[in-house]
Amino acid sequence: MQAKKVFNAMSPYTPGKQIEDVKKEYGLTKIVKLASNENPFGYSKKVKEAIPSMLDHLEIYPDGNATLLRNKLSTHLNVSADQLVFGCGSDEIVEIISRSYLEEGTNTITAWPTFPQYRHCAKIEGADVKEVPLKNNGDHDLAGMLAEVDENTRVIWLCSPNNPTGNLIQRNEMEDFLNECPKDILVVLDEAYYEYINKATNPNTIDLLEKYSNVIVLRTFSKAYGLANLRVGYGIASKEIATLLNITRGPFNTTSISQMSAIHALEDQDFIKYSYEQNIENKSYFKREMESLGLECYESEANFLFVKLPTSGDQLFEHLLSKGYIVRSGEALGHPNGVRITIGTKEQMTELSQLIKEYLSAVQTTS
């Protein structure tokens, strides 16, 4: 059988190490996973309490329109209900956008390194992918990305905060970019880490939609809301864009359990506030610890830090793995010299700092 030619040069996504595998491989009992930017505090108790009530009628297809969640979220975000599109994670929204706007003969522009699914989905559609390296400080090179625009450009992906560096695109830069960008190009603003952004210095981005009808904002219940396992993400855009994406979308792509859980999660903003505050505190603690060891991190507005290393991240990754801490080596993320570490609890970050310190002094004495 012959699949699309592009598959000759592609392979499946390699996820972070699984907890059970690491336990077996290293004979460990306690494992701390700080590899996928999940919420170390779990998810809202309100969701857990409500789940038993969601178990009736699993034989019935869910409401494909996600009406209750749609209405709840439209109030929460102050947008109209028909401006929303839901996905099986925002991963699926990336796929739906690619299927809707990209094909052979078109191209798309992303930063690099950034979230790899933009490139992955675009390639499957046969589009050319133009990758513009981040600036040295980890910021998107927005001018460089604009310089790549041509008449076949259909979609530009902006990841803010950027995964894996954590840098946020500042509001004025974003507006300058949108003013320059041709209005017939879809600009995707992926805000998977939105809830972790400091709102005092970075106002809401949804109001950009009023001025720029070519923007779609992506958010998710997977990160701060702690519902990665239930797979709910969404896009917010003009009614026209949302309508198109809803045509491409599979008819039953979110479940009743995921929709209802998302509603209960939204109602518990205290949990989000707690997660946000803990993240700020533990992130600045861990950053200071790394700096005291002579290691630099990018300026992160997310719930992870990318720690730069003089050598490949693989070595430190392997070392931490053997001690029961799973982090993400930069090798797998397009940034070999470093590791991306999810911000965990204070206790976890303290222990991890100690392990990194021991590792560095061991490396120094042997070299």
Ligand X SMILES: *Cc1c(COP(=O)(O)O)cnc(C)c1O
- For ligand X, the binding residues (CB under 6 A) are 37, 89-91, 115, 159, 163, 190, 192, 220, 222-223, 228, 233
> 156 - beta bridge partners?
109, 187
In the complex, the smallest distance separating the C-beta of residue 159 from ligand X, rounded to whole angstroms, is 5
Residue 149, amino acid:
V
Strand 186-190, strand 215-220: pairing: parallel
In the complex, the smallest distance separating the C-beta of residue 330 from ligand X, rounded to whole angstroms, is 15
Give the residue with the Cβ less far from ligand X, 17 or 323. 17
149 vs 139, 182, 213, 316, CA distance in Å? 19, 9, 18, 39
Cβ of 97: how many Cβ atoms within 10 Å? 30
In the complex, the smallest distance separating the C-beta of residue 264 from ligand X, rounded to whole angstroms, is 17
78 vs 189, 207, 213, 311, CA distance in Å? 18, 10, 16, 47
Give the residue with the Cβ less far from ligand X, 77 or 324. 77
Return left, alpha or beta for 320; rule: phi > 0 is left, psi -120 to 50 is alpha, else beta: alpha
Give the residue with the Cβ less far from ligand X, 163 or 255. 163
Contacting residues for 248 by C-beta, under 8 A, at least 6 apart:
96, 99, 100
Contacting residues for 32 by C-beta, under 8 A, at least 6 apart:
324, 325, 326, 344, 348, 351, 352
Give the residue with the Cβ less far from ligand X, 177 or 234. 234
The Cα–Cα gap between 63 and 75 comes to 19
H or E segment to which residue 86 belongs: strand 84-87
In the complex, the smallest distance separating the C-beta of residue 195 from ligand X, rounded to whole angstroms, is 12
In the complex, the smallest distance separating the C-beta of residue 27 from ligand X, rounded to whole angstroms, is 31
Strand 128-133, strand 325-326: pairing: unpaired
Contacting residues for 5 by C-beta, under 8 A, at least 6 apart:
none
In the complex, the smallest distance separating the C-beta of residue 114 from ligand X, rounded to whole angstroms, is 8
In the complex, the smallest distance separating the C-beta of residue 82 from ligand X, rounded to whole angstroms, is 21
Give the residue at shortest CB distance from ligand X: 89
